[in-house]
Amino acid sequence: MKAAVYRGAGRLVAEDWPRPSIGEGELLLRLKGCGLCGSDIAKIVDPTTKVPAVFGHEVVGEVAAVGSGVSTYAVGDRVVAAHHVPCGDCHYCRRGSESMCAAFKASNLDPGGFAEYVRVPAPNVRHATFRVPPQVSDEAASFVEPLACCLRAVRRARVQPGDTAVVVGLGSIGCLFVQLLKRAGTAVVGADALSDRAVFARELGADAGGTLEVAAKAQRELSAGRGADHVILTGGGAAVLPWTAEIVRDGGAIHYFAGGEGAALPLPLETLYHRELTITATYSSSPSDLAEAFGLITSGAIQVERLITHRVPLASLASGVDLMRRREALKVYVTP
């Protein structure tokens, strides 16, 4: 079969890769499509990433073969399947840190979503695979995983109705946050240097949007001068942190959703302590986050299809990566 294989030094090549064979409890999917995620790009630009590798974890596929013992899915079913699955029973899992579970980190779709066929291991089949109903498109279904990650972040940030939240970075993830935060009853301000992204965020429900400067002013007005209860960073990394500390209210919270350039937090501990600030972060999502995200997408509560601006075949994955890195694409959807 063909796969988009990462060969190091930023190089992605469409080449032959052994088609996975499946065992007991597993599924083989014929790829229908896979979203390109910022975390895939982070691996592509990271010189320590092991090669060869096949990325992609926002997978929609059609069941092509069913392993023995699988009775819940049949050949021809359209499903979304998540990449990582926790054990559900370790110290981490029992305390809600499912994405820190050893089994979670060890599990993955084989070889990854940027391939014609994908093996879904048995735990993923049991706990993190969802049958897509006919009214939901492949493209919409591919958002279950990223939306689940955003839901987890909104919960961990302890967002409450009446809060004011600033979303920094209005890529596809920022657009999901805008919608989830509005549903949570907050006033939402989007911040992005690209003006068309701020306009789009307003279409999706943001109360205000614009550059950092515009966003800072808007959140002050919306919060009666207190400052934002929450700042959610989907991009920009450590460089934006001093700005977030300026606009967050005393006692407010800053949520790191993405890694980023700059390994250290340039924040005086004195500020953290005296102002009782909270810094939260979330990594990936749990099976219950995925189930909730699946429900929001199948019910049409969150607009996702509009976020896909570019579609590329597997063989052109590299051009999709370039579109994302240049911030021309909001979301790239990869098809076989």
Residues that bind Zn ion (CB under 5 A): 37, 86-87, 90, 93, 101, 146
User: What's the min distance (Å) between Cβ of 40 and Zn ion?
Assistant: 7
Q: Which is nearer to Zn ion, 87 or 238 (CB)?
A: 87
| Amino acid found at 311 | R
Q: Which is nearer to Zn ion, 101 or 247 (CB)?
A: 101
Residue 42 contacts residue 48 (beta carbons within 8 Å):
no
Q: Which is nearer to Zn ion, 57 or 249 (CB)?
A: 57
User: What's the min distance (Å) between Cβ of 96 and Zn ion?
Assistant: 11
Q: Which is nearer to Zn ion, 101 or 296 (CB)?
A: 101
Q: Which is nearer to Zn ion, 243 or 294 (CB)?
A: 294
User: What's the min distance (Å) between Cβ of 250 and Zn ion?
Assistant: 34
User: What's the min distance (Å) between Cβ of 98 and Zn ion?
Assistant: 6
Q: Which is nearer to Zn ion, 164 or 234 (CB)?
A: 234
User: What's the min distance (Å) between Cβ of 141 and Zn ion?
Assistant: 14
Residue 133 contacts residue 158 (beta carbons within 8 Å):
no
User: What's the min distance (Å) between Cβ of 100 and Zn ion?
Assistant: 8
Three-state SS string across the chain, please?
A: CEEEEECCCCCEEEEECCCCCCCCCCEEEEEEEEEECHHHHHHHHCCCCCCCECCCCEEEEEEEEECCCCCCCCCCCEEEECCCCCCCCCHHHHCCCHHHCHHHHHCCCECCCCECEEEECHHHHHHCEEECCCCCCHHHHCCHHHHHHHHHHHHHCCCCCCCEEEEECCCHHHHHHHHHHHHCCCEEEEECCCHHHHHHHHHCCCCEEECHHHHHHHHHHHCCCCCEEEEEECCCHHHHHHHHHHHEEEEEEEEECCCCCCCCCCCCHHHHHHCCCEEEECCCCCHHHHHHHHHHHHCCCCCCHHHCCEEEEHHHHHHHHHHHHCCCCCCEEEEC
User: What's the min distance (Å) between Cβ of 228 and Zn ion?
Assistant: 26
Q: Which is nearer to Zn ion, 58 or 163 (CB)?
A: 58
